[in-house]
Amino acid sequence: MITVPVHRRFSDLDPLGHVNNVAYHDYLQEARVGLIGDLALVSNADYAQIVVRQEIRHVRPLGYAREAVLIDVWISQMARTSYTVEYRIRDADGEVAAEATTLLAVVDAETGRPVRIPEAVRLALDPA
């Protein structure tokens, strides 16, 4: 597990002054990129990673603050062609605002058909 800080933008707010639910998807994407570390492992001439499903459980609203939200992110399951990423979004005080799960699949860049997760991706996601 790693923790990725993500700063809220004023444009993330809805008319009620809360971070809009759509912005959470951006936050999760930032955390995933922080986890894998190398964009060439996300998409290249041979393969791409695509989001198959994403679920967010909102625990409490996030308002605007200058402090970053802290996103704990980890791999909870790895299969042959897909893997599951889990997240815990916390405010600067450590209070949980949301929990989320993303299922990602690795696909052939040309055909879009699932392929075995490349070894370089496996090592980046689970170096142990």
The pLDDT averaged over each successive group of 10 residues in the chain (128 residues) is 94 93 96 87 91 97 93 96 97 95 96 95 80
Considering only CA atoms, which of 128, 87, 91, 89 is closest in space to residue 104? 87
DSSP code at position 16: T
What local confidence, expressed as pLDDT, does residue 128 receive? 58
What local confidence, expressed as pLDDT, does residue 98 receive? 98
The pTM for the full model equals 0.91
Q: Could you please state the CATH topology (level 3) that the domain comprising 2-125 is classified under.
A: Thiol Ester Dehydrase; Chain A (3.10.129)
Judge contact between 73 and 80, C-beta under 8 A: no
Match 């609203």 to its residue by tokens: 61
